[in-house]
Chains A and B, each alone.
Chain A
């Protein structure tokens, strides 16, 4: 590591171990669900496209995620909010 990198690390860059932990937590959520790493993004894109035709759906509020916790394993959760009238 050069001097500039070290300085940057000393002032404010998150320590390597924090980055590692965050990455691992994410990777393992996909591994445990048996999903490829782009699964959520890909599904979200397809769903948003399909929902375009329905004006009563609040597409900004669509939430797609892999739920945490053992009992929740084996699914992708999709929340589709309806616009308030």
Chain B
């Protein structure tokens, strides 16, 4: 499979890399694929929280690099989702503790044992980003439909090109149909006109996301989560299924329009 080692990155911080990684990895594991998610955000461990695995961690990626344990021994198995494993980041070390060749070695070690290897990249475009991208054969750039996020995503695309990586695929996260309908927020077509990348998915703003993360339960586990549904679609598209990007639907009623004009919203 060409899309085996997948790095999720963004440039700008807080746009949803860990959310996308945790959910798409979970969705693929639920389908029976063997999946490992590597948290490459060294010093700012996070992926364990989104997956609800934080209190099961014994070893982390730096133990593996220091030779304390082999990669497989450091993996945390998800009890709830069969076939899903996490390689946690170190929380106390800094980004320089993991070099690109270290991550390449770990990925090579795990390659034959898994169907998918996800790498959750740190924000930024420095060392940590480069380390996360180096072993990947597929890169997903997550962007919010906002100026700074899109500008940073474009930087990342340029750097991937310099690193001679394939062109990243785009996931637009946190799009709000209501704001799009009002003309306040860039819509999918606007973003594509600016970035011109292959679109892998559009994940809507989901007001329940906070509670999913608070409970350590990825959105894809919930049938009725609006973000979960699109995150499952992303997993299917990675498997090569042709699922059209659903149209955002929201039409503002006349009363709402009036309320917006006169009210405080």
Q: Give complex CA distance A31, B216 in Å.
A: 38
B160-185 contacts to A, CB under 8 A, are 180, 182-185
**Given A6-B260, A6-B261: A21 and B186 interface contact (C-beta under 8 Å):** yes
CB atoms of A17 and B183 under 8 A apart: yes
Are A3 and B190 interface neighbours, CB within 8 A? Answer: no
Contact residue among B147, B151, B184, B261 (Cβ-Cβ distance under 8 Å from A31): B151
Evaluate contact between A28 and B154: CB separation under 8 angstroms: yes
A49 at interface (Cβ–Cβ under 8 A)?
no
| CA distance in complex: A10, B182 (Å) | 10
Partner of A3 from the list B183, B184, B187, B261 (CB cut-off 8 Å) is B261
- Residues of A near B158 (CB, < 8 A) are 31-32
Number of interface residues of A (CB under 8 A): 17
User: A85 in the interface, Cβ–Cβ < 8 Å?
Assistant: no
- Count how many chain B residues have C-beta atoms less than 8 Å from C-beta atoms of the other chain: 19
Is B183 in contact with A24, judged by CB distance below 8 angstroms? no
Cross-chain contact B184 with A16 (CB below 8 angstroms): yes
Q: Across the two chains, which residue of chain A brings its CB closest to B187?
A: A17
CA distance A24 to B149 in the complex (A): 11
Chain A residues with CB under 8 A of B186: 17, 20-21
A60 CB within 8 Å of chain B: no
Q: How far is the CA of A25 from the CA of B194 in the complex (A)?
A: 6
Closest-CB distance, B222 to chain A (whole angstroms): 30
- Tell me if B151 and A27 are in contact (CB < 8 A): yes
Q: Which residues of A contact B (CB under 8 A)?
A: 3, 6-7, 10, 15-18, 20-21, 23-25, 27-28, 31-32
Interface residues of B (CB under 8 A from A): 147, 150-151, 154-155, 158, 180, 182-187, 190, 193-194, 260-262
**Pairs across A and B, CB under 8 Å, 7 listed:** A6-B261, A7-B261, A10-B261, A16-B184, A21-B186, A21-B194, A27-B151
